[in-house]
Structure 1
């Protein structure tokens, strides 16, 4: 029996999902593969059906995003570990073996070494900034893992509440890392678990949708997992900057030319957070009941000063 189920989430991945599956087929460790197809309409379904590795396919009726896809597959996982893998990521043959070998008894998640197509390191894990953003680390010990390619202990993931499907995409990995660390688990990097990653092939970093998901999910993650004062401070700061932007425009002061400084987008983020606030506070109570480490202890240790 394999120790790991690899879950690949795809949406309109016809241009790159075959390379991902080829990389999985070349792994030196046995594994089960589940591909979650987020209602693709570009021929992805045909490529999955024709691939020689014959992956199991879970086709969803609508696009649930990366977080929704991982959450949908989790109920089908019956192995000790579950690996998350982007459809635009191509693992080296020893990737899975390196991840499994690094998963000691107190380790709940193992980060991969993600590289860009040219070979430059993209991520060996995720760190925390003083304002609660997750940031990719290229060296050092990580707080969390990049969800583009990582191994998680299935029982630990389920015990801390699974995957926040409502996030759609972005910060579902850092939110999960928060909850695992609060529950007393360790997270490490396997430097030899190398994956070549196109990064953002489906979500286009810098786009309005990217910034909306990023800003919304960061605030929801903090409300769910961070110390209360940190979460409230960052929510208030986001609202204050949003309110100040029109005045800066009137006074002809410089406003950054990025989608996340558009007032309409920021107002939509605040509306999204308001709608999801009751669920976030319920999740916060659940996280607190499962925690063996204080939120403030983690924050002081891991948030970069």
Structure 2
């Protein structure tokens, strides 16, 4: 019996996608593989057509990012569980079995153990910082959320709690989802036995301007959607204040997220999305069974 659809989102992944598909073919638990191809133009389509595992393919007409790809696939998932998997990730053979075993009553999502190619831990789940950032956990414990690079979720619960924020494009769609799961009373488990080797950054470049733009914008949108309103407003004001101070600062960090134009673009994009984001906040609040402030105090020191 197939209990899980593994959704792999790819964009120009020809250099590493075969390793991911080979690892899925070696799983010791039956499953369905659905690859979302974000309009790749590098031979990915041909690789998918000739791969011996014969995965199902949903080819999109444009690049919708990781969040958009997962969202597009969700309507095609008819199994109890849906797994999210990066195209540059290769799970060990027992990965899916370990995740399915962890889906006890009350658990809506299970986080994998992601490792860098040298075996060091990248993530055992995601914590929530006092500034509202999602931060990968590298020590065993109970996480607030999961890293979307390799995780398992209950399909019906994901749909019932609002699905995937496709407009995020990539980054923070996982922590936003964790917020919504926990606001409706569901738990999230860490599964150290569900091991995945991850070529982190093979599809995107951590530290690049686009990386920081998506991270900063989506963190603010996530907080406006899910967090206590004073926290969301505090972080928006803090981000805007730092941005306004940059032209008169004597020393400005060299990181891309301190570039004035990038930060102004983030503020503009958040402002444009604000009416829709506030409507989404109301919908999330209507479904919630746990107080936002209670969750914030439980999972952060802020």
Deviation string for 1:129-162 (max 9, x for gaps)? Answer: 1000000001221000000000000010000000
Confirm or deny that 1:102 pairs with 2:99: no
Confirm or deny that 1:126 pairs with 2:126: yes
The 2-side partners of 1:200 and 1:141 are apart by: 26
SS of aligned partner of 1:175:
helix
Quote the offset at 1:234 in angstroms. Answer: 0.1
Quote the offset at 1:19 in angstroms. Answer: 0.0
Structure 1 segments of 4+ aligned residues over 4 angstroms from their partners:
none
**Conserved in 2, the CA contact under 8 Å of 1:128 and 1:304?**
no
The 1-side partners of 2:204 and 2:282 are apart by: 32
The 2-side partners of 1:301 and 1:49 are apart by: 47
Deviation string for 1:222-249 (max 9, x for gaps)? Answer: 000000000000000000000000011x
**Under a length normalisation based on structure 2, what TM-score does the superposition of the two structures give?**
0.99
**Aligned 1:145-224 pairs, distance under 5 A:** 145-224=146-225
The 1-side partners of 2:31 and 2:37 are apart by: 19
SS of aligned partner of 1:299:
helix
**Aligned 1:131-142 pairs, distance under 5 A:** 131-139=131-139, 140-142=141-143
Deviation string for 1:151-197 (max 9, x for gaps)? Answer: 00001000000000000000000000000000000000111000000
Match of 2:288 in 1: 291
Match of 1:27 in 2: 27
Deviation string for 1:98-156 (max 9, x for gaps)? Answer: 00000001100000000000000000000011000000001221000000000000010
The 1-side partners of 2:295 and 2:204 are apart by: 30
The 2-side partners of 1:200 and 1:291 are apart by: 34
SS of aligned partner of 1:33:
strand
Match of 1:263 in 2: 260
The 1-side partners of 2:271 and 2:201 are apart by: 27
The 2-side partners of 1:184 and 1:286 are apart by: 16
Deviation string for 1:204-224 (max 9, x for gaps)? Answer: 000000000000000000000
Deviation string for 1:40-98 (max 9, x for gaps)? Answer: 00000000110100000000000000000000000000000000000000000000000
Match of 2:76 in 1: 76
SS of aligned partner of 2:5:
strand
Match of 1:45 in 2: 45
The 2-side partners of 1:259 and 1:271 are apart by: 17
The 2-side partners of 1:84 and 1:7 are apart by: 5
Quote the offset at 1:303 in angstroms. Answer: 1.3
Quote the offset at 1:304 in angstroms. Answer: 3.8
The 1-side partners of 2:41 and 2:163 are apart by: 28
Match of 2:56 in 1: 56
Coordinate RMSD, CA, aligned: 0.6
Aligned length: 301
> Structure 1 unaligned runs (5+)?
none
SS of aligned partner of 2:90:
strand
The 2-side partners of 1:113 and 1:45 are apart by: 29
Quote the offset at 1:202 in angstroms. Answer: 1.2
> Structure 2 unaligned runs (5+)?
none
The 2-side partners of 1:16 and 1:278 are apart by: 39
SS of aligned partner of 1:13:
coil
Q: Which moved more, 1:132-141 or 1:216-225?
A: 132-141
**Under a length normalisation based on structure 1, what TM-score does the superposition of the two structures give?**
0.98
